[in-house]
Structure 1
Protein backbone atom coordinates (compact mmCIF):
# COMPACT_ATOMS: atom_id res chain seq x y z
CA UNK A 1 0.00 0.00 0.00
CA UNK A 2 2.94 2.34 0.61
CA UNK A 3 3.83 2.76 -3.08
CA UNK A 4 0.31 3.77 -4.22
CA UNK A 5 0.01 6.06 -1.19
CA UNK A 6 3.36 7.68 -1.98
CA UNK A 7 2.20 8.11 -5.58
CA UNK A 8 -0.99 9.82 -4.41
CA UNK A 9 1.01 12.11 -2.13
CA UNK A 10 3.40 12.98 -4.97
CA UNK A 11 0.43 13.81 -7.21
CA UNK A 12 -1.06 15.95 -4.45
CA UNK A 13 2.24 17.80 -4.12
CA UNK A 14 2.35 18.38 -7.88
CA UNK A 15 -1.22 19.71 -7.85
CA UNK A 16 -0.31 22.15 -5.08
CA UNK A 17 2.75 23.29 -7.00
CA UNK A 18 0.66 23.90 -10.15
CA UNK A 19 -1.56 26.14 -8.05
CA UNK A 20 1.38 27.99 -6.50
CA UNK A 21 0.91 26.35 -3.10
CA UNK A 22 3.30 24.19 -1.11
CA UNK A 23 2.51 20.80 0.39
CA UNK A 24 4.88 21.10 3.35
CA UNK A 25 6.09 18.03 5.22
CA UNK A 26 3.52 18.62 7.98
CA UNK A 27 0.67 18.99 5.48
CA UNK A 28 1.88 15.87 3.69
CA UNK A 29 1.90 13.95 6.99
CA UNK A 30 -1.66 15.04 7.80
CA UNK A 31 -2.80 14.14 4.27
CA UNK A 32 -1.13 10.73 4.62
CA UNK A 33 -2.99 10.13 7.90
CA UNK A 34 -6.32 11.08 6.30
CA UNK A 35 -5.64 8.82 3.32
CA UNK A 36 -4.58 5.92 5.53
CA UNK A 37 -7.82 6.07 7.51
CA UNK A 38 -10.40 3.62 6.21
CA UNK A 39 -13.27 5.95 7.13
CA UNK A 40 -13.63 9.68 7.67
CA UNK A 41 -11.37 10.73 10.51
CA UNK A 42 -11.81 13.55 13.01
CA UNK A 43 -9.28 16.27 13.74
CA UNK A 44 -8.51 15.02 17.25
CA UNK A 45 -7.96 11.46 16.04
CA UNK A 46 -5.55 12.93 13.48
CA UNK A 47 -3.86 14.93 16.22
CA UNK A 48 -3.34 11.76 18.29
CA UNK A 49 -1.74 10.03 15.31
CA UNK A 50 0.32 13.10 14.40
CA UNK A 51 1.73 13.28 17.95
CA UNK A 52 3.48 9.95 17.32
CA UNK A 53 5.34 11.68 14.47
CA UNK A 54 5.62 15.20 15.97
CA UNK A 55 5.52 15.33 19.75
CA UNK A 56 4.74 19.06 19.81
CA UNK A 57 1.69 18.82 17.55
CA UNK A 58 -1.29 20.82 18.85
CA UNK A 59 -4.87 21.32 17.62
CA UNK A 60 -4.08 24.51 15.66
CA UNK A 61 -1.35 22.60 13.81
CA UNK A 62 -3.84 20.01 12.58
CA UNK A 63 -6.61 22.51 11.85
CA UNK A 64 -4.31 24.73 9.76
CA UNK A 65 -3.14 21.71 7.77
CA UNK A 66 -6.74 20.53 7.27
CA UNK A 67 -7.81 24.01 6.13
CA UNK A 68 -5.01 24.01 3.57
CA UNK A 69 -5.87 20.50 2.34
CA UNK A 70 -9.55 21.47 2.02
CA UNK A 71 -8.64 24.63 0.12
CA UNK A 72 -6.48 22.61 -2.27
CA UNK A 73 -9.22 20.05 -2.88
CA UNK A 74 -7.19 17.18 -1.43
CA UNK A 75 -9.71 16.24 1.26
CA UNK A 76 -13.43 16.64 1.90
CA UNK A 77 -15.09 17.50 5.18
CA UNK A 78 -18.07 15.32 6.00
CA UNK A 79 -20.07 17.80 8.07
CA UNK A 80 -22.46 15.21 9.53
CA UNK A 81 -19.52 13.36 11.06
CA UNK A 82 -17.26 16.40 11.60
CA UNK A 83 -14.57 14.31 9.95
CA UNK A 84 -12.32 14.34 6.91
CA UNK A 85 -12.01 12.04 3.94
CA UNK A 86 -9.22 11.95 1.36
CA UNK A 87 -9.92 13.06 -2.20
CA UNK A 88 -6.80 11.82 -3.96
CA UNK A 89 -6.85 8.88 -6.37
CA UNK A 90 -4.08 6.68 -7.73
CA UNK A 91 -3.83 4.53 -10.81
CA UNK A 92 -6.10 4.10 -13.85
CA UNK A 93 -5.46 7.58 -15.15
CA UNK A 94 -6.29 8.88 -11.68
CA UNK A 95 -4.41 11.48 -9.83
CA UNK A 96 -5.76 14.14 -7.65
CA UNK A 97 -9.19 15.43 -8.59
CA UNK A 98 -7.82 18.33 -10.60
CA UNK A 99 -10.32 18.25 -13.42
CA UNK A 100 -13.87 19.46 -13.92
CA UNK A 101 -16.65 16.86 -13.80
CA UNK A 102 -19.50 18.90 -15.19
CA UNK A 103 -22.15 21.11 -13.63
CA UNK A 104 -21.53 22.80 -10.36
CA UNK A 105 -18.00 24.10 -10.73
CA UNK A 106 -15.64 24.20 -7.79
CA UNK A 107 -17.11 23.05 -4.52
CA UNK A 108 -14.98 23.94 -1.53
CA UNK A 109 -11.70 23.58 -3.45
CA UNK A 110 -12.93 20.64 -5.51
CA UNK A 111 -13.43 20.66 -9.26
CA UNK A 112 -15.94 17.84 -9.13
CA UNK A 113 -19.37 17.44 -7.65
CA UNK A 114 -19.33 15.34 -4.52
CA UNK A 115 -21.96 13.76 -2.38
CA UNK A 116 -21.64 11.41 0.57
CA UNK A 117 -23.60 8.31 1.50
CA UNK A 118 -23.27 7.71 5.25
CA UNK A 119 -24.36 4.47 6.93
CA UNK A 120 -26.26 5.23 10.12
CA UNK A 121 -25.37 1.78 11.50
CA UNK A 122 -21.62 1.44 11.00
CA UNK A 123 -20.58 4.92 9.87
CA UNK A 124 -19.19 3.71 6.53
CA UNK A 125 -19.02 6.67 4.18
CA UNK A 126 -18.87 6.54 0.40
CA UNK A 127 -18.15 9.52 -1.81
CA UNK A 128 -20.10 9.62 -5.02
CA UNK A 129 -19.66 12.17 -7.76
CA UNK A 130 -22.93 12.53 -9.63
CA UNK A 131 -23.14 15.66 -11.79
CA UNK A 132 -26.92 15.13 -12.15
CA UNK A 133 -27.38 15.69 -8.40
CA UNK A 134 -25.33 18.87 -8.57
CA UNK A 135 -27.23 20.06 -11.66
CA UNK A 136 -30.60 19.39 -9.97
CA UNK A 137 -29.52 21.36 -6.90
CA UNK A 138 -28.24 24.23 -9.06
CA UNK A 139 -31.48 24.27 -11.06
CA UNK A 140 -33.64 24.24 -7.93
CA UNK A 141 -31.53 27.07 -6.49
CA UNK A 142 -32.01 29.22 -9.58
CA UNK A 143 -35.75 28.52 -9.56
CA UNK A 144 -35.86 29.71 -5.94
CA UNK A 145 -33.90 32.86 -6.80
CA UNK A 146 -30.97 31.66 -4.73
CA UNK A 147 -27.32 32.05 -5.68
CA UNK A 148 -25.56 28.83 -4.77
CA UNK A 149 -21.88 29.19 -3.84
CA UNK A 150 -21.14 25.73 -2.57
CA UNK A 151 -23.01 22.56 -1.71
CA UNK A 152 -22.20 19.21 -0.23
CA UNK A 153 -24.94 16.61 -0.14
CA UNK A 154 -24.79 14.13 2.73
CA UNK A 155 -27.35 11.32 2.63
CA UNK A 156 -27.80 8.98 5.56
CA UNK A 157 -29.04 5.42 5.17
CA UNK A 158 -27.85 1.83 5.48
CA UNK A 159 -24.87 0.43 3.58
CA UNK A 160 -25.05 -2.87 1.69
CA UNK A 161 -23.08 -4.75 4.37
CA UNK A 162 -25.37 -3.61 7.19
CA UNK A 163 -28.48 -4.32 5.08
CA UNK A 164 -27.18 -7.83 4.33
CA UNK A 165 -26.39 -8.43 8.00
CA UNK A 166 -29.89 -7.27 9.01
CA UNK A 167 -31.49 -9.51 6.36
CA UNK A 168 -29.40 -12.46 7.56
CA UNK A 169 -30.45 -11.82 11.18
CA UNK A 170 -34.15 -11.76 10.24
Structure 2
Protein backbone atom coordinates (compact mmCIF):
# COMPACT_ATOMS: atom_id res chain seq x y z
CA UNK A 1 0.00 0.00 0.00
CA UNK A 2 1.13 3.56 -0.50
CA UNK A 3 2.91 5.23 2.36
CA UNK A 4 2.12 8.62 0.89
CA UNK A 5 2.22 11.48 3.39
CA UNK A 6 -1.00 13.41 3.84
CA UNK A 7 0.74 16.56 2.58
CA UNK A 8 1.10 15.01 -0.90
CA UNK A 9 -2.59 14.15 -1.03
CA UNK A 10 -3.53 17.62 0.19
CA UNK A 11 -1.57 19.11 -2.71
CA UNK A 12 -4.53 18.44 -4.99
CA UNK A 13 -6.56 20.88 -2.92
CA UNK A 14 -3.80 23.38 -2.18
CA UNK A 15 -1.49 25.74 -3.99
CA UNK A 16 1.65 23.84 -4.94
CA UNK A 17 4.27 23.60 -7.67
CA UNK A 18 1.97 21.84 -10.10
CA UNK A 19 4.59 21.77 -12.83
CA UNK A 20 6.88 19.72 -10.60
CA UNK A 21 3.94 17.57 -9.45
CA UNK A 22 2.97 16.88 -13.06
CA UNK A 23 6.54 16.26 -14.21
CA UNK A 24 7.34 13.83 -11.40
CA UNK A 25 4.13 11.87 -11.90
CA UNK A 26 4.65 11.72 -15.68
CA UNK A 27 8.21 10.44 -15.19
CA UNK A 28 6.96 7.71 -12.81
CA UNK A 29 4.20 6.82 -15.30
CA UNK A 30 6.70 6.53 -18.15
CA UNK A 31 8.93 4.30 -16.00
CA UNK A 32 5.95 2.12 -15.05
CA UNK A 33 4.88 1.77 -18.69
CA UNK A 34 8.43 0.76 -19.63
CA UNK A 35 8.57 -1.71 -16.72
CA UNK A 36 5.35 -3.31 -17.97
CA UNK A 37 6.58 -3.35 -21.57
CA UNK A 38 3.64 -1.12 -22.50
CA UNK A 39 4.03 1.33 -25.36
CA UNK A 40 3.22 4.92 -24.45
CA UNK A 41 2.29 6.11 -27.96
CA UNK A 42 2.04 9.85 -28.68
CA UNK A 43 -1.76 9.86 -28.22
CA UNK A 44 -1.52 7.86 -24.98
CA UNK A 45 1.22 10.10 -23.64
CA UNK A 46 -0.70 13.25 -24.57
CA UNK A 47 -3.86 11.85 -22.95
CA UNK A 48 -1.93 11.30 -19.74
CA UNK A 49 -0.40 14.78 -19.92
CA UNK A 50 -3.87 16.30 -20.33
CA UNK A 51 -5.14 14.36 -17.30
CA UNK A 52 -2.16 15.60 -15.30
CA UNK A 53 -2.73 19.27 -16.21
CA UNK A 54 -5.08 19.74 -13.28
CA UNK A 55 -6.24 17.77 -10.29
CA UNK A 56 -9.64 16.94 -11.68
CA UNK A 57 -11.22 14.14 -13.64
CA UNK A 58 -12.13 14.45 -17.32
CA UNK A 59 -14.81 12.73 -19.33
CA UNK A 60 -13.92 10.87 -22.50
CA UNK A 61 -15.63 13.40 -24.76
CA UNK A 62 -13.84 16.32 -23.12
CA UNK A 63 -10.60 14.41 -23.70
CA UNK A 64 -11.61 13.72 -27.31
CA UNK A 65 -12.18 17.45 -27.89
CA UNK A 66 -8.70 18.24 -26.55
CA UNK A 67 -7.04 15.49 -28.58
CA UNK A 68 -8.90 16.46 -31.77
CA UNK A 69 -7.84 20.09 -31.35
CA UNK A 70 -4.24 18.86 -31.30
CA UNK A 71 -4.62 16.73 -34.43
CA UNK A 72 -5.03 13.27 -32.89
CA UNK A 73 -8.37 12.53 -34.53
CA UNK A 74 -11.97 13.23 -33.68
CA UNK A 75 -13.51 9.76 -33.42
CA UNK A 76 -14.51 8.55 -29.92
CA UNK A 77 -12.31 5.40 -30.07
CA UNK A 78 -9.24 7.69 -30.09
CA UNK A 79 -9.98 8.90 -26.57
CA UNK A 80 -11.55 5.71 -25.25
CA UNK A 81 -8.66 3.49 -26.35
CA UNK A 82 -6.05 5.83 -24.87
CA UNK A 83 -7.97 6.14 -21.58
CA UNK A 84 -8.55 2.38 -21.41
CA UNK A 85 -4.84 1.75 -21.96
CA UNK A 86 -3.93 4.17 -19.16
CA UNK A 87 -6.38 2.54 -16.73
CA UNK A 88 -5.32 -1.01 -17.63
CA UNK A 89 -1.68 -0.10 -17.05
CA UNK A 90 -2.22 1.65 -13.72
CA UNK A 91 -1.51 5.13 -15.08
CA UNK A 92 -5.05 6.47 -14.64
CA UNK A 93 -8.20 5.65 -12.68
CA UNK A 94 -11.82 5.71 -13.68
CA UNK A 95 -13.84 7.91 -11.33
CA UNK A 96 -17.27 6.38 -11.66
CA UNK A 97 -19.20 9.12 -9.83
CA UNK A 98 -18.15 11.58 -12.52
CA UNK A 99 -18.05 9.07 -15.38
CA UNK A 100 -14.58 10.40 -15.93
CA UNK A 101 -10.89 9.60 -15.65
CA UNK A 102 -8.10 10.96 -13.47
CA UNK A 103 -4.36 10.45 -13.71
CA UNK A 104 -2.96 8.06 -11.14
CA UNK A 105 -0.75 10.10 -8.86
CA UNK A 106 1.16 6.97 -7.75
CA UNK A 107 1.88 4.91 -10.87
CA UNK A 108 3.81 1.75 -10.17
CA UNK A 109 2.87 1.67 -6.49
CA UNK A 110 0.50 -0.89 -5.01
CA UNK A 111 -2.21 1.23 -3.46
CA UNK A 112 -5.91 1.33 -2.70
CA UNK A 113 -6.92 4.88 -3.55
CA UNK A 114 -9.92 6.73 -2.23
CA UNK A 115 -11.10 9.53 -4.48
CA UNK A 116 -12.17 12.71 -2.74
CA UNK A 117 -14.40 14.57 -5.19
CA UNK A 118 -15.43 18.19 -4.71
CA UNK A 119 -19.11 18.55 -5.57
CA UNK A 120 -18.62 22.19 -6.53
CA UNK A 121 -15.47 22.37 -8.67
CA UNK A 122 -15.03 18.66 -9.54
CA UNK A 123 -11.42 18.65 -8.31
CA UNK A 124 -10.30 15.16 -7.37
CA UNK A 125 -7.68 14.09 -4.86
CA UNK A 126 -6.34 10.56 -4.74
CA UNK A 127 -5.96 9.78 -1.04
CA UNK A 128 -4.41 6.67 0.47
CA UNK A 129 -7.18 4.23 1.27
CA UNK A 130 -5.43 1.25 2.85
CA UNK A 131 -7.40 1.49 6.13
CA UNK A 132 -10.69 1.83 4.23
CA UNK A 133 -9.85 -1.11 1.97
CA UNK A 134 -8.81 -3.23 4.96
CA UNK A 135 -12.17 -2.54 6.65
CA UNK A 136 -14.01 -3.37 3.42
CA UNK A 137 -12.04 -6.62 2.99
CA UNK A 138 -12.82 -7.56 6.61
CA UNK A 139 -16.54 -6.92 6.18
CA UNK A 140 -16.57 -8.93 2.96
CA UNK A 141 -14.60 -11.82 4.48
CA UNK A 142 -17.15 -12.05 7.30
CA UNK A 143 -19.70 -12.91 4.59
CA UNK A 144 -17.35 -15.28 2.76
CA UNK A 145 -16.85 -12.80 -0.07
CA UNK A 146 -13.51 -11.99 -1.68
CA UNK A 147 -13.18 -8.51 -3.15
CA UNK A 148 -11.26 -8.43 -6.40
CA UNK A 149 -11.68 -4.77 -7.23
CA UNK A 150 -13.09 -1.77 -5.41
CA UNK A 151 -13.48 1.85 -6.38
CA UNK A 152 -13.95 4.03 -3.32
CA UNK A 153 -15.20 7.58 -3.86
CA UNK A 154 -16.29 10.27 -1.43
CA UNK A 155 -18.20 13.41 -2.40
CA UNK A 156 -17.77 16.62 -0.45
CA UNK A 157 -16.15 20.03 -0.58
CA UNK A 158 -12.51 20.88 -1.17
CA UNK A 159 -10.98 23.49 1.17
CA UNK A 160 -11.43 26.31 -1.36
CA UNK A 161 -15.10 25.58 -2.01
CA UNK A 162 -15.79 24.94 1.67
CA UNK A 163 -14.31 28.37 2.48
CA UNK A 164 -16.67 29.96 -0.07
CA UNK A 165 -19.68 28.38 1.67
CA UNK A 166 -18.60 29.50 5.12
CA UNK A 167 -20.35 32.76 6.04
User: TM-score normalised to the size of structure 2?
Assistant: 0.80
- Secondary structure (helix, strand or coil) at the match of 1:149 reads coil
Gaps of 5+ in 2: 1-17
Higher relative contact order (CA 8 A, sep 6+): 2
Deviations 1:100-140 (A, max 9, x none): xxxxxxxxxxx211011122233222211121111001111
Residue by residue, what CA displacement relative to the aligned partner does 1:8-39 show, whole Å, maximum 9, x if unpaired?
A: 43432221121121111111011111111341
Alignment of 1:122 with 2:116, yes or no, is no
| Closer, same or farther: CA 38–98 of 1 in aligned 2, 3 Å | closer
Q: How far, CA to CA, are the matches of 1:136 and 1:36 in structure 2?
A: 33
Pairwise CA RMSD:
1.9
Structure 1 residues 2, 125: closer, same or farther in 2, change over 3 A?
closer
How does the TM-score come out when normalised to structure 1?
0.79
For the residues of structure 1 that align with 2:134 and 2:96, how far apart are their CA atoms? 21
* Greater radius of gyration (CA): 1
Q: Which residue of 2 aligns with 1:160?
A: 159
Do the aligned residues in 1 keep the contact of 2:87 with 2:94 (CA within 8 Å)? yes
Give ranges in structure 1 of 5+ residues lacking alignment: 89-95, 100-110
Give 1:136-151 correspondences, 5 Å limit. 136-151=135-150
SS in 2 for 1:128: strand
- The alignment partner of 2:93 has SS state of strand
1:59 aligns with 2:76: yes
Q: Distance in 2 between matches of 1:124 and 1:2?
A: 17
**Which has the larger displacement, 4-13 or 76-85?**
4-13
Greater helix fraction, Structure 1 or Structure 2 = 2
